[in-house]
Amino acid sequence: MTALYSIPLTLNDGSETDFGRFDGNAVLVVNVASNCGFTQQYAGLETLYGKFRDRGLEVLGVPCNQFAGQEPGDDPEIAEFCERNFGVTFPLTSKADVRGRNQHPLYAELTKFKSGMLPGLVKWNFEKFLVSREGKVVARFAPAVEPDSAEIIDAIEEVLS
């Protein structure tokens, strides 16, 4: 079993689970915020989820308020915002820190992935990590990389094939 699968998660509705709920599926993990210049990416993430869910892709949004206070809401406010403005149906966790002293254990594992332009700490909202069906981090994408970009679509197609 991969280390990621044993990491506990609290979902936005307060229910407790762990990352193992995604075992056998690929997962795009994204730290999200409601008041960011990249917030419109919620729509693209929902489109990806709709397009690839039946083939085994999950999207997991992790609301975070660590970057310029761009996610000030509480969990119910965040869920309502996402549903009302973007029709989000993919799971969201409760608000969490993605870096620093109180970094969520999920991000402690995800940020061990070193590749390309983004090693180490999460730099901003809407950074994306792609986890394979086997629970391995296989790609990391900068916040400016749109969910419908060829770079992300190609990586998803590869992990789902």
Candidate list 25, 85, 102, 125, residue with the active-site label: 85
- The first and second tokens of residue 83, run together, are 């549903």
Please give the single-letter amino acid code of residue 92: L
Q: State the SS3 of 86-150.
A: HCCCCCEECCCECCCCCECHHHHHHCCCCCCCCCCCCCCCCCEEEECCCCCEEEEECCCCCCCCH
Burial of 101 (0-12, 13-18, 19+ CB in 10 A): exposed
Residues 29, 7: Cα–Cα separation, whole Å: 14
Concerning whether 25 is annotated as a catalytic residue, the answer is no
Query: Catalytic residues, which ones?
Result: 85
